[in-house]
Amino acid sequence: MLKLWRWYTSYLAAHPVKTQVISSGLIWGVGDIGAQAITHSTALSQRPNEDDDKEFKINWKRMAATSLFGFGFVGPIGHYWYEGLDRYIRFKLMLKPNSFRFVATKVAVDGFIFGPLDLAVFFTYMGFATGKSFPQIKEDVKRDFLPAFVLEGGIWPIVQVANFRFIPVRKRSAKMDNCFLISLHLFIPSFAIHREHDQKTKIDKFGVSPG
């Protein structure tokens, strides 16, 4: 295991963007499977007598779509975002690395700029990936964006404080930020979308009108 980790970190140093993209795609895919499992478990607890739904089956199409979001957006964009954010706060704002103001500024900028962008792009992308029309996606974003952003805001800053404070930028920066944090960042918006998807599947199955 240690040997594998050393190989990974050395490859990360030699090919940061490529490694970040691949890692992001894999972690988002695994995170999506976890979100599906939680959604399924929650549905079972609410409907314990429905024997047909007790077996958990991975939605591979949805997992692939979510994984592609990691490959195409979070991996490359996240890489340049975290590197640029660190440089900006160090050299433009002239804040001392790892100081309280340095960490607090990074957490605030990340939470209020990249966080909303990531959520909006994710909701939009997953809407199109699941075959929704633009008006449907617009309504989903209006309904789910703020609750997801508020929920994310209660968890994400705590993790980011530890990340920005204790992991050196040369080892972390954009190279390791998302490899550890993407799965958490995925869960909040992903869970909302996948829960809605499963609810609609049940409506179609049992012939219940949503209105």
Residue 79 CA neighbour count, 13 Å, CB half: 19
Q: Which amino acid is at 153?
A: G
Residue 85 CA neighbour count, 13 Å, CB half: 25
CA separation (Å) from 55 to 4, 41, 44, 204?
A: 34, 10, 10, 19
pLDDT at 152 over 80: no
- Which residue has tokens 């962008």? 117
- Which residue has tokens 């980011």? 160
pLDDT tier, 49 (very low <50, low <70, confident <90, very high otherwise): low
| pLDDT tens for each residue of 184-202 | 445 555 555 555 555 555 4
User: What pLDDT is stored for residue 193 in this prediction?
Assistant: 53
pLDDT at 129 over 80: yes
- What's the maximum distance between 2 C-alpha atoms anywhere in the chain? 61
pLDDT at 69 over 50: yes
| pLDDT tens for each residue of 7-47 | 877 887 788 888 888 888 888 888 888 888 887 887 777 77
pLDDT at 154 over 60: yes
- Poorest-confidence range of 33-47, 100-114, 174-188? 174-188
pLDDT at 203 over 50: no
pLDDT tier, 176 (very low <50, low <70, confident <90, very high otherwise): very low
CA separation (Å) from 163 to 39, 48, 69, 99, 166?
A: 28, 40, 23, 13, 6
pLDDT tier, 181 (very low <50, low <70, confident <90, very high otherwise): very low
Question: Could you tell me how many residues make up the chain?
Answer: 211
pTM for the model: 0.74
Give the Cα separation of 193 and 178 in Å (integer): 21
Q: What is the DSSP annotation of 144-203?
A: HHHHHHHHHHHHHHHHHHHHHHHS-TTTSHHHHHHHHHHHHHHHHHHHHHHHHHHHHHHH
Mean pLDDT of all residues in the chain? 77
For 39, the enclosing helix (H) or strand (E) is helix 16-46
